[in-house]
Each structure stands twice: as structure tokens, then as C-alpha cells.
Structure 1
Amino acid sequence: MLILLLGLIVGPGLLLSAWSPPAGAQTTAYVSDELEIAVRRGKTFQHRILTFLESGDPVTVLEDDGEGYTRIRTQGGTEGWVQTRYLMDRPHARVLLEEARTRIESLEAARDALREESAELKAERDRQAQRASALSDRVGELEKALEDLRTLAADPLEKARENEELTARLAQEQDRVRQLLEENRRLREDDRKDWFLYGAGVSIGCLLLGILLTRVRLRRRASGWID
């Protein structure tokens, strides 16, 4: 699939097509799909070979004689002549394929790194969720403890209020008891007074009765009646 896409990009017949650079311009060309080509001092096979170029090596085009030879400069700085038909205006399929493979490997490495980072983020998210749950439980426990403390703090206050109410009621009952005792004492005193008056009345009555009886006896004696 990748080779097919590269073929569509590069174009059919590119690997074997001849290339003609624009006149008077220095451009970049690439060695075609030959294993090696010779860079010579001159245009013919009789000229000395300066160096060899491998397939895919980029070179700088210095001159095209229009007769099938091009003067180039290698990346190492060597200048010489090569056959024009061995040059292309873009990297050939093998180079593009290698670049594509390198790019794919880079993308796969980036993908794997993103997956690993995503897994780490997910694990961290899970840890944070567990921490949040634990903190939520802790907050619930603290709120319950606080409510218990409030209840305990409110209970003595309630007890104190109840004690105050009971103390007030006790004081009221004690007042009522004192009042009842006072009334009872007065009643007893009044009763004693009544009994005293009653006794005094009885005594006086008896005394008067005795006096009357004595007078009656005296009168009978005086009249000659003997008891």
C-alpha cells in the first residue's frame, strides 16, 4: 500500500525517466535507481573517475550541456560530470520509502508514547478518584464527629437549663410548703383559742351553775325545805 501511494506521488516511470535542469540555475538533483554512478573529470568515459555516487545521493547541479552530461557538485564538495539520465528532480521511490518508513516509525513511537502517557494519566485519574473518595469519606466522618461534639456540648447546657427550671420549681414548692405550714400553724393556734374559749365558757357555766345551785339550796333551807 505504501509503495502504491509513493508510486502515485512520484508518478509512473519516474525511476527511469530522464531529467533536464533549467539552464543557468543551480538546483538539487538525486541519483536515480542505479547502484552506483561515476563522477568523472570530463564528459567521456576516458576521463578519470573522481568519486562514486550511490542511488539517492543528492547533488547540486552546476551545468547541463544539453548533450547528455551534467556537471554537478557532491555533498563532499567534489565537482565533476555525470550522465544526465542518471539524475532525477526528486528522491526516487526507495528514498521516499525509507523516509516514509522513518516517518511511520516516528509516528508509531509518538503513538506509543501517547498511549503510555494516556495510561499514566488514566492511572493518575484513578488514584485521584480514590483519593477524592477517601477524602469524601473522611469529611463525612469529621462531620459526624462534629455533630456528636455539638450534641455533647448542647447536652450540658440543656441539663443546666433543666436544673434551673427544677430549682425554680423546687423553690416554688418550698414556698407553698412554708405557706401551708404557716396556715396550719395559724389554724392550730385558732383551734387552741377556740378550745380555750370553749373551756373557759364551760368553766364559767359550771361556776354559774354552782352559784345558782347554792342559792337554790340556801333558799330551800330558809323556807324549811330540807334536801
Structure 2
Amino acid sequence: MRGILFVLLCAVATAGLAETNYVDDTLVITLRTGQGNSYQILRTLTSGTALEILERDDKYARVRTPDGTEGWVLSQYLTPTPVARDRLAQAEQRLARFETENQQLKKELAALRSEKRTVEGEHKQASSTVERLQGELERLKAVAARPLELEKQNQEMGKRLQELELNARMLSEENTALRDRANRDWFLAGAGVLFGGILLGLILPKLRKRQSWSDWR
């Protein structure tokens, strides 16, 4: 991805510049002041030298060297692409860069995997903590519900106690009434016996007198 971006940036940067050609695989060519072998040689150009094309005809091209020297060279020795040697060097540089990027990506991948393992461990620990907290929450809910249950039981027991106290009070009143009735019955029975004794005490002497009188006659 970075290599593609680099190529695109290079293409954009060179789009506005003049055309560039390279000295082909011919070992050395001459840069002259004019078109033809009769003109003065300004310098020699080795294979792979980058030249900016200023103008061109069928046979010659006016060029500018990297150091700013301008002159004429034969067009047949120019090529729009770098020579094989330079392309190989560039390819080796790109390969080296790609290898460096690959190593960096491998390091980043290893770091991401390590981070992934760490995150997974933290997630597992968090899940365990959540489960523990959920269990604690359930226990707390049970503990919180216990007083409510006890209060309900206390209310039911209070009602039952009130019923028992009412029944006990009713039984006590009934026992008191029975006791009073028994005392009254005993009193009446005693009074009856006493009254009967009095009557017998009054009647028996008379009966005895009558029996004695009858015997005397």
C-alpha cells in the first residue's frame, strides 16, 4: 500500500515537469554545442544519465544535464525509460524497502497478536468478574428478600397471635362464666339442702308426735 502511494506521489510530482529521457545502454555519448559531429563536444554522457528534453527533431535533441549543461545529442541514443542497470538498481532498492516494510509489518503483526492475546485475557478476566458480580448480586437479592419474607411471616404470626389472644380471652371469659355458674349451682344446692334440712327439722318432730299420739290411743 505504501509502495503504491509512493509511485502515485512520484507520478503527480513529475507530471508538471518537462519530459525526461535517459542515455541508453550505449556506454558513452557526446554532448555537443550543435547538431552534428562538427560541433564542439561539451562533455561525454555515460549510460543511464538523465537528460531533460528541451527540443527534439528527427535526428537530434537539445537536452539539459542534471548539472544544468545544455547541448545536443543524437536522439537514437535516448530512451524514455531508465536503462536496465538503473532499473535493476531501482528494483533492488524497492525490494529492500519492501523487505524493510515487511519486517516492520511483521513486527506490527506480532505486536497486534500480543495485544489481541492481552485483550482476550482481559476479556476473559472481565467475563469472570461479571459472572462473580452477578452471583454476588443474586446473593444480595436473596439476602434483601429475606427481611421482607421475615416481615411477612411476622405479620402472619402477629395475626395468629391476635387470634390466639382473642380465643384465650374468650375461653377465660367462658371459664369465668362456668365457674360462676358452678358456684351458683353449688350455692343453690347447698341452700336446697339447708332448706330441706330445716323442713325435715320442722316436719319430723311433728310426725313423731303424731305417731306417739296414735300409739297412746
Q: Please classify the TM superposition score into its range, dividing by the shorter chain length.
A: 0.7 to 0.9
Task: Point out where structure 2 has 5 or more consecutive residues left out of the alignment.
Answer: 1-17
So what's the TM-score if we normalise by structure 1?
0.72
The letter for the 1-side match of 2:196 is G
Mapped pair 1:55 → 2:51: no
**Relative to structure 1, is the Cα distance of residues 116 and 157 closer, same or farther in structure 2, using a 3 angstrom cutoff?**
same
- 2:24–2:77: 8 Å Cα contact kept in structure 1? yes
Corresponding position of 2:149: 158
Corresponding position of 2:198: 207
The letter for the 1-side match of 2:116 is R
**Relative to structure 1, is the Cα distance of residues 120 and 222 closer, same or farther in structure 2, using a 3 angstrom cutoff?**
same
**Relative to structure 1, is the Cα distance of residues 200 and 84 closer, same or farther in structure 2, using a 3 angstrom cutoff?**
closer
Mapped pair 1:137 → 2:101: no
Q: Which structure carries more relative contact order (alpha carbon 8 Å, separation 6+)?
A: 1
Q: Which has the higher helix share?
A: 2
Corresponding position of 1:222: 213
How far residue 103 of structure 1 moved from its aligned partner, in angstroms, is 2.3
**Relative to structure 1, is the Cα distance of residues 203 and 51 closer, same or farther in structure 2, using a 3 angstrom cutoff?**
same
Q: 1:47-196 maps to which residues of 2 (within 5 A)?
A: 49-61=41-53, 62=55, 66=59, 72-82=63-73, 86-196=77-187
1:56 and 1:140 map into 2 onto residues whose CA distance is: 71
* RMSD (CA atoms): 3.0
Post-superposition CA distance 1:103-147 (Å, at most 9, x none):
222333333333333333332232222222222222222222222
So what's the TM-score if we normalise by structure 2?
0.75
Task: Point out where structure 1 has 5 or more consecutive residues left out of the alignment.
Answer: 1-25
Percent identity between matched residues is 40
1:65 and 1:206 map into 2 onto residues whose CA distance is: 178
How far residue 49 of structure 1 moved from its aligned partner, in angstroms, is 4.6
The letter for the 2-side match of 1:32 is D
**Relative to structure 1, is the Cα distance of residues 96 and 206 closer, same or farther in structure 2, using a 3 angstrom cutoff?**
same
